[in-house]
Amino acid sequence: MAIIDDHYTYRVTWSADDDEYVGLCAEFPGLSWLAETPEGALKGIRNVVEDVIIDMRDRKEKVPEPIAIKNYSGKFMVRVPPEIHRALAIKAAEAGVSLNRLASSKLSH
């Protein structure tokens, strides 16, 4: 049985500790797959995710929603120490932009 909509977020990176490529899935942080090639790591982690989803569905467990299809408001709150808040407010004023625009610019780099 194959997953019809596999829109999960996969990443393949080199693992120096294992001397192999490791496939990862952001929505399933506890899962990984080691392989000699990046292609093998990606194929392996996709197969593991598929098996886990099938098992979760069989057990009537909630399957994580893919990050790529979630709707985001564009708003989130970040708490910082007052002295950092003040310093950012000063930088924003000096640049002639809002604090929100300054923070968004810094976060996007």
> Does residue 109 surpass a pLDDT of 90?
no
Q: How confident is the model over 38-53, as a mean pLDDT?
A: 97
**Same domain flag for 62 and 77:** no
Q: Provide the sign of the torsion angle of the four alpha carbons 61, 67, 70, 72, taken in this order.
A: positive
51 and 87 inside one domain: no
Q: What is the pTM of this model?
A: 0.73
Helix %, strand %, coil % of the chain (to 5): 45, 15, 40
Q: What is the average pLDDT across 66-77?
A: 91
Provide the domain limits for residue 39: 10-68
**Residue listed under structure tokens 């950092």:** 84
Mark whether 57 and 97 lie in a shared domain.
Answer: no
Q: Render pLDDT for 21-40 as a digit per residue (tens, 0 to 9).
A: 999 999 999 999 999 999 99
In a domain, 101, yes or no: yes
Q: Do 76 and 64 share a structural domain?
A: no
